[in-house]
Amino acid sequence: MTRSLELESHARLKNGRVYAQQYHTLMEFRDGKIRAVREYLDTQHVLAVWFAPDPATPTAAEARHRDS
């Protein structure tokens, strides 16, 4: 048996960025147990919100240049 879920999340990070994600989750069941889970989401949004440098925080190279 297979079930499909559409989910949304919304959170404001400490740095002020907003993580608003939509997911599609596909779950496969066998003998009453979860056999497999596949989740699809916008990975570019993940990178932009969670991992992109904060413009207010200098990079290591900028900090070295500033301190020299």
Strands of the 2-12 sheet, one edge to the other: 2-12, 18-30, 33-40
- The structural domain count of the chain equals 1
Does some domain include residue 54? yes
pLDDT digits (tens, 9 = 90+) for 31-43: 999 999 999 999 9
Domain range enclosing 42:
2-58
Does some domain include residue 15? yes
pLDDT digits (tens, 9 = 90+) for 44-62: 999 999 988 876 665 556 5
The Cα–Cα gap between 40 and 23 comes to: 6
In CATH, what number is assigned to the domain containing residue 20?
2.10.70
Whole-prediction pTM value? Answer: 0.64
**Residue 9: its pLDDT value, please?**
95
Cα dist from 23 to 2, 14, 41, 50, whole Å = 16, 22, 5, 17
pLDDT > 80? residue 28: yes
Nearest 5 degrees, angle CA 58-CA 13-CA 54? 15
The Cα–Cα gap between 49 and 45 comes to: 6
**Residue 16: its pLDDT value, please?**
86
